[in-house]
Structure 1
């Protein structure tokens, strides 16, 4: 299950995954970016606000995601980490 760090490069990918009902976790340090993933949540998406550049906050995100829907298998931070189409 992917952890998608929401930014200009990853937001469209996250939206398409959410629309398809794919289990995932999304995180951003901005509430406004995360809120759309909280609203209309399909039950398979975890949306969190945290600074993933802070190791303590990142550990808390990973722990929360794992306890709710399973282990994070990859992290998507930008276009270089998006899976091939």
Structure 2
């Protein structure tokens, strides 16, 4: 399953294979994975596929947590900073 269209470099596959991996390492791998995707690729559907592919078998794995957080972060985009984001009376 290593190196398919959803995981071009096999990074997610490898992360699930590493014994004792921690969440911070999974975040680094996740960032590298995201940067390796083609520009036109929509990340949300791919994350859902990866979560179904690996998350069900490894619900307590730190990469499952990182992928889930990635999905949650995508659903709530918001503007940050600047005077326009402040509440007005």
Indicate whether the TM-score tops 0.5: no
Please indicate the TM-score interval, normalised by the length of the shorter structure: 0.3 to 0.5
Q: Which has the higher strand share?
A: 1
TM value normalised by structure 2 = 0.36
Give the number of the structure whose residues are more often helix, by fraction. 2
Q: Which has the higher contact order (CA 8 A, sep 6+)?
A: 1
Larger Rg: 2
